[in-house]
Structure 1
């Protein structure tokens, strides 16, 4: 009888462990591709692609003029080594959400040779399954940052 109960407890324990591991794995990333932040082909806009599906659906429900976009996606003009007179300041522009991307179009065209920093919380995470398992989660969500030169 004790062997039977012991075997049953081992089975329940391994089932529980399997469910926990699968749960961590499935929560870690629904989209294995990293977020893509690039200039459009003509460099007139910034295109953000590889957005996880639930996040993209939520963005599609927002009005393009909603201030949430400014909180989720910031585009900054950054000073360069050759021109330090430029201050780091946000670039004003419009946002458009398509079926697979978010496009930022500045009100003033991007200047050739200038560096722009894109900071976004789209697809941002506390950590992945490996970090959860190792106990290395961060206390806050780390935004995705990418520097682009026009």
Structure 2
């Protein structure tokens, strides 16, 4: 009885260690470049970066990868979100969004991307909070 209890506890400790180590996936970091002319997505893991490169080669217009939306201000009469057109470039281990028109000062931009997004992680499966669709990573940036 004692041997089986020791074996079970050893297996449980190893399984808990593996589960906790598998959740160390860092989310990509979304921010303006130092001069605020482009938006940079950094901290992309190798597998996601390979998927981005394959997607970029297959589709030259990578509109679905990153979307940037100009949020209306409190005093704006039109309360519409406006899509910001631009191009996506890959530079090293980062993805760069270059807008067609420069970003406006004192405006907020909502950036959504699907880089490195999974349906559900191990912790979501264990606690029952897994969703049925992909949820983009969202970040509001103010210039």
Give 1:55's aligned residue. Answer: 48
Structure 2 residue aligned with 1:94:
87
1:1-150 equivalent positions in 2, closer than 5 A: 24-25=19-20, 28-29=23-24, 31-32=25-26, 34-61=27-54, 62-63=56-57, 66-67=60-61, 69-85=62-78, 87-150=80-143
Q: Deviation per CA, 1:7-27, whole angstroms, max 9, x where unpaired?
A: 78x96x779867865665565
Using the size of structure 2 for normalisation, the TM-score is 0.79
Q: Which protein has the larger Cα radius of gyration, Structure 1 or Structure 2?
A: 1
Q: In the aligned structure 1, how far is the partner of 2:117 from the partner of 2:48?
A: 10
Partner of 2:63, secondary structure, is helix
Root-mean-square deviation (CA, aligned residues, Å) is 2.7
Instruction: Give the number of aligned pairs.
Output: 142
1:75-129: per-residue Cα shift (whole Å, max 9, x none)? 0111110223363121111111011110001000001011111011112122332
Provide structure 1 residue ranges, at least 5 long, that are not aligned to the other structure: none
Is there any run of 5+ residues in structure 2 with no aligned partner, and where? none
* TM-aligned CA deviation for residue 35 of structure 1: 1.8
Q: TM-score, normalised by structure 1?
A: 0.76
